[in-house]
Each structure stands twice: as structure tokens, then as C-alpha cells.
Amino acid sequence: MNKEDRRVDYLELIRQIPADRIALIINSCRYTFGMLADQAEKLRFKEGLTWGERKTIQVIQSSEIEVQLITFLALSGTQAVPVIVPADVKINETLLQTEVPKEACMAVMTSGTTGENKLLFRTLESWQGYFHTQNKIFGMGDKSRIFMQGSLAFTGNLNLYLAQLTAGGSIVAANAFDPRKWMKEIEDWKADTVYLIPAKLRLLKKAYDRKAWKNSGVRNIISGSQSLGRREAEELKQVFKNASVILYYGASELNYITYVKDYQMGEDKTLIGSPFPEVKLRVENGEIRVSTRYGVIGTKEEEWIGDCGHFDQNGLLCFDGRKDGICNVNGRKVISAKIENELAGCPGVAEAAVKTLKKGGQDILAAWIVPEEQVNIDMLRVRKYLKTSLCEWEIPKAVFFVEELPKSESGKILKRNLKDLYCKKSKTS
């Protein structure tokens, strides 16, 4: 490669950080920035990867986070455009024939609500150009050490990995789904920032509660993809005594859209806050419309990504769910996200999802509930709780108690798969 052909990519940005600084800690192994860069460059040389206008899609399908990261860095900026895919997902070969824009440096795979996988392509600028802004809001940077769990196939993880590393900060990573190990990693490696979706944060808090431990080192808790209210934020702050909690709302097609901090949260768990800098949004006929230049290739000047919402009396955005999550039951509009938020506060409920089912030719509202461990809960108890805050037509007529809910890599519930669940016990009113 000639010097005049040299272009900025994620690997080059990593090379600009002092080589002896700790970049990644995983399974008690420490990788410096120099080690990550050297291994990525060796792989680039081994695979004969070069610059080139003709782009092809290169799937990364390892279950090991360090392999995902190093391979992504090796492919970054070459003619092979990387897309990290969950190890257990079968790739449609037709998808790999998708034409790749010449300016693309990476791709992400998403299925949205349709269940049909699609590829979204990004330029370097569409993420890297916004890292400084998002890092400032999230409290991340060259002095921070952030704990994260899960695969880089989750767009939120990949984004924050790259944002943290290109800023010169460190990451404490966990592959396994084990809150007790997360707690140990946070304590042993003195993480000052935690990034987990709300469901995982609740499990982490329980792990601390069981040990009766408190943490004074974590300064920032970042979360997204699910709802979070003031009560949950305050419970987290009882464990993480010096932490601030921030919830963001974003989209794979765009970037970060809005955020809300713990002191702004209230009882309404649909609150998702104010726009990020350089983001404009409005609501038209209940649909959230977003304007940002930090979107995937092909982003329109104003995008609607299928989400609905409204502004509260303070001008802050509230999330009403996906458009297909707003249903008509016996002539009345019902918002499933609202009911799910209420169920999340019901004693004995660990997780819940709501959608309509066909029964006798009519739509009825149904709820799938994962009970908390060693807690007895039944349909009557759930309905009695919901009657204190919901109208009668908003209370599910069918309740299914299940061991777990089907989820995507990001932790989002796959509602299209709910009907296929094996129900350990179920009751219908």
C-alpha cells in the first residue's frame, strides 16, 4: 500500500493510542492497544486485505468477543466490508450478494420487526464523527474504564467499543450471561462506567444485593433498548452510590436520538428525553420523525423508523412503542409498551411482553410473563395489580407464565416469536 493511498480507518485510529495502554480486559486477559493493532495487522496481511473500490461483504461469526473485535479492525477500511453476526444465526446467501456502496466501511445486520434480515451500511464518519459528542454525554473517555457484556453483533456494543477505544479508554468485557461474574469483573478491574440494558442492570443489582455489597467506584451507568424509570434508577443508585444513570433511545438505521438522566426521570417509564446534539425530531400523527446526518448510507433528510411517541408537558419525548405495537381492541386504541411498563412494576414479575392474539375471530390482549425466581404469582394477582393503573380494556385477557422470552442479540423481545413459546403454565380469563 502506497502512502498516498492511506486512508483513515478504525485500525489506524487505534494505532494512534499509546501502544502500552490497556485497551481490553476479558477472561482475565489484558490486551494493550499495541497488541490489538498488531494482531489485526497480522490478520490483514495473512488474508491479503488491501484498499480497493470493489467492495465485498465479509461476515464475522465468532462467539469470542476478542476475535470479533480484532477481525473487525483488520477488515476496517479494506475492500472486505465487515458485518458481525451472532454465531448461531444462519446467513441467507442472497443477503451476501447485496451491492455494497463504495463509501461503506462496515455493515450491521438487523431484522427490525419484520423478521427479515437486512444489511445497513455505514461510513466511518457516520459513527466516528459523533464519538466525541456521545462520549461527553455518556462520561466516557481516555481516563474511563467501561464494563460491557455481550457480543459485538449488538450494534450498541460495537458502537461503544469503538467510541471508547478510539478515545483511548479501556473496556472490561464479559461474554457469559452471569451477573455474579459481572459483579466480580466490575470490582476486580475497578470499572467506573457500566453499560447494560435495563433487564441486565436489574440482575446485576440483585447480585450485589445478595452479597450486601455497595460500589462507590462506578460513576456512570448507561442503558438503552428498554424502558427505565425513576424508581429503578434510584434503586441502582442505592447500590452504585456515586453513579449517575442515563437512558438513551436510538436506532440501528440512525444513531443516538434522545437521552434522559436520572434526575429527569419520573413515574412514566416511557420518557426518553431530549434530542442529542445535532439531532432534530418531531412527532407527526403519533410517528417519531428524526433528522440527523449520522445515519446509515441512504438516510433521508428526515427518517421515520417505525416508532411512535408524543411530547410531554415539558417538551420531552415519550416512547409509545413500535407502530405495530399500537393495536385496536374492541374499538379502543391500546399501547402495548404502556402495559409492559406497568407489568414491570408488578411484584413477582421479572419480565413481560404484550401483544394481541386471535380468539374466536377477535383480537384479545395477551401477556407473556417471566416470574421472578422462587416467587408464586398468578393471573388474578397480575390483573388486580394492573387495575390500579390501567383501564379495563388495557388489562390482558390472556396471561401466559413462561421461563424466558425470545430475544434478539441486543436484548429486545422478539414479539413475532411469542406465539411459538412453550408455556409452562397458562391461564385465560
Q: Which fold has domain 330-428?
A: GMP Synthetase; Chain A, domain 3 (3.30.300)
Residue 395 identity? I
Distances (CA, A) of 199 to 19, 23, 115, 335: 36, 27, 22, 21
Whole-angstrom Cα Rg for the chain: 22
At 424, is the pLDDT very low, low, confident or very high (cuts 50, 70, 90)?
very low
Q: What is the pLDDT of residues 98-153, one digit of tens each?
A: 889 989 999 998 865 555 778 999 999 999 999 999 999 999 999 999 999 999 99
Give the H/E segment covering residue 135. Answer: helix 131-138
Of 290, 259, 256, 289, nearest to 273 by C-alpha is: 259
Q: How far apart are CA 131 and CA 265, in angstroms?
A: 25
Q: Are 413 and 368 in contact (CB under 8 A)?
A: no
CB-based contacts of 305: which residues, under 8 Å, 6+ apart? 251, 253, 254, 288, 290
User: To 5 degrees, how large is the angle CA 92–CA 93–CA 95?
Assistant: 70
At 93, is the pLDDT very low, low, confident or very high (cuts 50, 70, 90)?
confident
* 3-320 and 330-428: identical CATH topology: no
Q: Pick the residue with more confidence: 268 or 410?
A: 268
Question: Cell numbers 478491574 label which residue?
Answer: 189
Can you give the residue ranges of every domain in the chain? 3-320, 330-428
DSSP string, 41-98: HHHHHHTT----SS-EEEEE--S-HHHHHHHHHHHTTSSEEEEE--TTPPPPTTGGGP
The predicted model gives 233-240 an average pLDDT of 97
What is the percent of the chain with per-residue pLDDT over 70, rounded to a whole number?
A: 93
Q: Are 366 and 357 in contact (CB under 8 A)?
A: yes
Whether pLDDT at 65 is above 50: yes
Q: Are 145 and 192 in contact (CB under 8 A)?
A: yes
CB-based contacts of 251: which residues, under 8 Å, 6+ apart? 257, 290, 305, 307
What pLDDT shows up at residue 3?
Answer: 40
What pLDDT shows up at residue 171?
Answer: 98
At 2, is the pLDDT very low, low, confident or very high (cuts 50, 70, 90)?
very low
Q: How far apart are CA 183 and CA 43, in angstroms?
A: 33
What pLDDT shows up at residue 115?
Answer: 58
Q: What is the pLDDT of residues 351-402, one digit of tens each?
A: 888 988 877 777 788 899 999 877 788 888 898 999 988 888 889 988 999 8
Percentages of the chain per state (helix, strand, coil), in multiples of 5: 30, 30, 40
DSSP 192: S
- State which CATH number among 3.40.50.300, 3.40.50.12780, 3.30.1180.20, 3.10.20.600 fits the domain covering 3-320: 3.40.50.12780
DSSP 215: B
Q: How far apart are CA 34 and CA 20, in angstroms?
A: 6
Show the cell assigned to 20: 502500552
